[in-house]
Amino acid sequence: MDNFEKYITENKHLFDEHKADKSKIWQAIESELEPPKTIRLWKSPLLKIAASILILVGVFSLTNSFIINGFRSGTQNNIVHQELRDIDTYYKDLVSFQVQLVKNNPKLQPQDKEKFLSFMDELDEEYNILKLEMTKNLNNEYILEAIVNNYKKRIELIENLLKQINDSKKSNNNEGYIL
């Protein structure tokens, strides 16, 4: 690079002599962009997951109290109760596994995860309160079966959400801006 070239490159900032008509250009840009995204509660996967967990915890506590009350009411249904408790434990573990998957999901921002975890803590508190409140006996096998089915549906919902997150991650990876 000779002196003339060096002189120009050293003074290149002086070539920025124009001022853009900011408001005019922005107006045009804004009209071409989609309206600002309003985050609707049920559109956010995180809230969907959180809501599902809330329902799950509620259902779980309900089941638990039924089982406890069932035991209190006598020993005639012990085998049935044991079976239901096993099913309950199985689904509880499955749910916590799914929650772990959500926690480990790289698609979610750390602050979102933190929000998610604090939400979970709140739900745990709520669960304890519910457990204390659910002392009335409504021992009915059909209801319990329905509750288990409900569990299954919630898990399915979480699985779908995780799949959606992963799918969107994949599709993001596929799009590249080629210059």
Partner 1 sequence: METNILYTHKDLVEKSKSGDRNSQYRLYELYVDAMYNISMRMLGIKEDAEDIVQDSFVEAFKNLTSFRYESTFGSWLKRIVINKSINYLKLKKIPVTPLDQHEYHIGEEVSEPVKSNDINKVKNAIKILPDGYRQIISLYLIEGYDHIEIAEILGITVSTSKSQYHRAKKKLIEIVNVL
- Sole window of 22-30, 40-48, 120-128, 137-145 interacting with partner 1 (rule: CB under 8 A): 22-30
d(CA 162, CA 172): 15
How many residues contact partner 1, by CB under 8 A?
A: 33
d(CA 149, CA 177): 46
Residue 111 makes contact with partner 1 by CB under 8 A: no
Nearer to partner 1, 14 or 79 (CB): 14
Nearer to partner 1, 27 or 100 (CB): 27
Residue 79 makes contact with partner 1 by CB under 8 A: no
Nearer to partner 1, 121 or 175 (CB): 175
| Nearest to 130, CA basis, from 49, 60, 31, 37 | 60
- Sole window of 24-32, 48-56, 76-84, 87-95 interacting with partner 1 (rule: CB under 8 A): 24-32
Residue 40 makes contact with partner 1 by CB under 8 A: no
| DSSP state for residue 42 in the 8-state scheme | G
| Nearest to 154, CA basis, from 18, 138, 85, 162 | 162
Q: Which of residues 119-178 bind partner 1 (CB under 8 A)?
A: 172, 175-177
Structure tokens at 4: 């003339």
Structure tokens at 50: 């959180």
Angle at CA of residue 66, ends 143 and 51, nearest 5°:
70
Residue 90 makes contact with partner 1 by CB under 8 A: no
Give burial (CB, 10 Å; 0-12/13-18/19+) of 120. middle
Binding footprint of partner 1 on the chain (CB under 8 A) = 3-5, 7-9, 11-12, 14-22, 24-26, 28-30, 32-34, 36-37, 172, 175-177, 179
